[in-house]
Amino acid sequence: MRLLFLIFVIMPVLEMWLLITVGGQIGALPTIGLVLLTALVGVNLLRAQGFDTLWRGQRKFAEGQLPAQEIAEGIILAVSGALLLTPGFVTDGIGFAGLIPMVRGAMARLVLSRMVVTGASSAGSFTAGGRSHQRGPRVDHSATGGSNRSDDIIEGESWDEK
């Protein structure tokens, strides 16, 4: 409840106060220009950081690893981008902090340390609770009169060539 109060009441008031104060010191048009400049610079930095995170995630996925760190960093980048497009200097400061790789990595590690990451890969291995496991082959014995358990299934695809 306090966090929502902080986000939706205190933050806009703080942003308005800071914008009025800066506008009083340097003028209204330079203040608007500064807000637009931070948004433009932020979007360009966001694009570069986002592609870097995407490539690292794809590389990990291709190696058969779950790209949990990269997914968490991607979410942080999305939030940072939204904050950079929001007019104001406080939100820009928080947004730019999320674009710094060391800060973003530390935030992602903090988030990931508080959750259990579970995922499956096409190679038949999966990660649960931070440990990797390998699935054994599954065989359907129901046609031969064997047990009809749901885990005795071979998964696959078939097609006809014409």
Would you kindly state where each structural domain of the chain is located, as residue ranges?
A: 11-134
Residue 88 CA to residue 84 CA, distance in Å, equals 8
Q: What is the mean pLDDT of the chain?
A: 81
Confidence of residue 20 (pLDDT cuts 50, 70, 90): very high
CA-CA-CA-CA torsion sign (114, 103, 89, 38): negative
pLDDT surpassing 80 at residue 45: yes
pLDDT surpassing 70 at residue 110: yes
Q: Which residues pair with 126 in a beta bridge?
A: 120, 133
* Global confidence as pTM: 0.67
Residue 82 CA to residue 55 CA, distance in Å, equals 22
pLDDT surpassing 50 at residue 140: no
